[in-house]
Amino acid sequence: MEKEFISELFQKFEEACYDLDGLECWSGRELMKVFNYSEWRIFSNLISRASKACEGSGEKVENHFVVYTKMVKLGSGANREIEDVALTRYACYLIAQNGDPNKQEIAFAQTYFAVQTRKQELIEKRLLDVARVNAREKLSKSEKKLSGIIYERGVNNQSFAIIRSQGDKALFGGRTTQFMKKKLGVPTKRPLADFLPTLLIKAKDFATELTSHNVVDKDLTGDRAITTEHIENNTAVRNILLKRGVEPENLPPEEDVKKVERRINSTEKKILKEIKKDKK
């Protein structure tokens, strides 16, 4: 396949894309032309096979294939209503996979949509990684803030560690921090939060912020009162999670947040390097 032809096809696929309520879509009718099919009857059969493949993959067909009607102008100047299908990038990929590979357009599309779909997956994964790292940093700041508040109210670092562990025990339904570390395979000297999913990191953060607020608002002093407050806040957060069908102690561990952070930083360095290279 010649470079000029590849460039031409790439441009066609990019131009055929449009925005539908914030969602990237392709028109089945327009895609038919780009794929070099001359009859809608034949191309609609291809779409049907792709939608079955979509269903077989466990995805909801209606999330990727949306049938609708639109008005088109005929050569005579009259208008006629025809059927069309709004297709997501994943739907286009499945259509290409079920198409005639002897068609150069189909062969190109199989790679084009596979690569683009993979790019989207990588973007989504990176956004989730960034959200988790940010949540962990926020929790660290909240715990530092609480530590500063209660230090002025007669609680030392050793007592703060006990207060925090009692909060964990309440959040995890009576299971200690050490128990959860062992269950999740967390190294002894590493914080439990570094291996928790984003939801639980945010849950711990919310409970910590509540404690900081109430210690000041209720003018609490001493280990016992502040420990009780932190336990009650973590219990309240746990109850919210349980009502929504989430059992904190049964969620699986996530990748070490420090590794995630290093991966993000490494990617950013590569991106900056590429940008600098392009500017030269």
Rounded CA separation 136/130 (Å): 10
Write out pLDDT tens, residues 12-66. Answer: 777 777 777 777 888 888 888 888 888 888 889 989 999 999 888 888 888 898 8
Per-residue pLDDT, averaged over 244-249, amounts to 96
Asked whether residue 138 is assigned to any structural domain, the reply reads: yes
pLDDT given at position 82? 81
* Residue 274 pLDDT greater than 60, yes or no: no
User: Which of these ranges, 57-66, 166-175, 189-198, 211-220, has the smallest mean pLDDT?
Assistant: 57-66
* Residue 172 pLDDT greater than 80, yes or no: yes
Looking at per-residue pLDDT, the higher value among 52 and 271 belongs to 52
- The answer on 137 and 94 residing in a single domain is no
Asked whether residue 272 is assigned to any structural domain, the reply reads: no
Per-residue pLDDT, averaged over 177-202, amounts to 95
- The answer on 155 and 207 residing in a single domain is yes
What residue type is assigned to position 35 of the chain? Answer: F
pLDDT given at position 119? 63
User: Which of these ranges, 137-151, 209-223, 257-271, has the smallest mean pLDDT?
Assistant: 257-271
Using pLDDT thresholds of 50, 70 and 90, give the confidence band for residue 179: very high
8 A C-beta contact, residue 54 and residue 94: yes
- The answer on 158 and 94 residing in a single domain is no
Instruction: Look at residues 99, 123, 155 and tell me which one is the last residue of a structural domain.
Output: 99
- The answer on 220 and 141 residing in a single domain is yes
- The answer on 249 and 164 residing in a single domain is yes
Rounded CA separation 279/269 (Å): 16
Tokens representing residue 22 in the block: 């914030």
- The answer on 243 and 159 residing in a single domain is yes
Looking at per-residue pLDDT, the higher value among 226 and 67 belongs to 226
Q: What is the DSSP string of 144-172?
A: HHHHHHHHTTT--HHHHHHHHHHHHHHHT
The domain tally of the chain equals 2
- The answer on 239 and 168 residing in a single domain is yes
Place of tokens 């208008």: 79
Rounded CA separation 231/170 (Å): 6
pLDDT given at position 77? 63
pLDDT given at position 57? 83
Rounded CA separation 84/69 (Å): 6
Write out pLDDT tens, residues 93-120. Answer: 888 888 877 777 887 777 777 676 666 6
- The answer on 256 and 146 residing in a single domain is yes
User: Which of these ranges, 4-8, 11-15, 149-153, 161-165, has the smallest mean pLDDT?
Assistant: 4-8
- The answer on 138 and 53 residing in a single domain is no
3-state secondary structure of 30: helix
- The answer on 50 and 157 residing in a single domain is no
- Which residue, among 238, 234, 240, 168, has the nearest Cα to 207 in the 3D structure? 234
Longest dimension (CA), the chain: 88
* Residue 265 pLDDT greater than 90, yes or no: no
- The answer on 139 and 256 residing in a single domain is yes
Asked whether residue 114 is assigned to any structural domain, the reply reads: no
Asked whether residue 74 is assigned to any structural domain, the reply reads: yes
- The answer on 146 and 70 residing in a single domain is no
Mean pLDDT over each residue of the chain, to the nearest integer: 85
Asked whether residue 156 is assigned to any structural domain, the reply reads: yes
Which residues constitute the domain of residue 235? 133-261
pLDDT given at position 279? 40
pLDDT given at position 275? 42
pLDDT given at position 241? 97
Using pLDDT thresholds of 50, 70 and 90, give the confidence band for residue 228: very high
In this prediction the pTM is 0.62
